Amino acid sequence: MPKVSYTSFLSQHVEAGSSAALSDAYHAVRRIPYGSTGERDPVKIIANNLGSCSGKHILLRDVLREMGRQAEIITMFTHFNRGIPSHPAMPPDLRAMVEGEDVCDFHHYVRVRTGRRWTKLDATWHDALIRYGFSVNCDWRGHGNTTLAATPIREYPPVEDLAAWKVQLLTKLNPEQRELRARFFRRLTEWMMTL
């Protein structure tokens, strides 16, 4: 992403020199509505005000780096539906998938250096999901780990080209797993767009 785009994004959401700069940057990305559209380009995430976990976490990593922070993206293999609360407001077919067989996915979060330790930041869910029981992390104030949107079964070392890595990882799922995953994220995104 061009440096000017990050600078503009930061100037809109983060007060320069503020002690809350880390949490302000995190929440600016977290508040972007979730949508699994396959788009991972941070410029388009900002322009569309919509992003998947991959796109939002690429944006968060890059914005934190622009602020001078050491940040990287961690990928995990998970059963993504297990981290999503089943809610009566969901369409019946989506609820059945949330409660049904495991939906295999490769989820992401950002790891940022805070002092001598790494802090886990998951910016997946936006505020509209609070009332449905999602782990939105709206109260995070810059200290400690955020709640991850999914439970890791396996974690992978950080990579720079997350978009290519995600494509490569998804080929490891069998055709039935890929089809269920695609259907699940399509229905989840369609439902979230109505909120």
Tens-of-pLDDT digits for all 195 residues of the chain?
Answer: 455 588 889 989 998 778 899 999 999 999 999 999 888 899 899 999 999 999 999 999 999 999 999 999 999 999 999 999 999 999 999 999 999 999 999 999 999 999 999 999 999 999 999 999 999 999 999 999 999 999 999 999 999 999 999 999 999 999 999 999 999 999 999 999 999
Q: Report which residue type is found at 140.
A: W
Instruction: Say if pTM beats, i.e. exceeds, 0.85.
Output: yes
Q: Which CATH number fits domain 3-193: 1.10.720, 3.60.15, 3.10.620, 3.40.50?
A: 3.10.620
Cα distances from 126 to residues 20, 21, 103, 108, in angstroms, run 19, 19, 21, 16
Residue 15 has what pLDDT? 86
* Domain spans of the chain, in order of start: 3-193
pLDDT score recorded for residue 2: 56
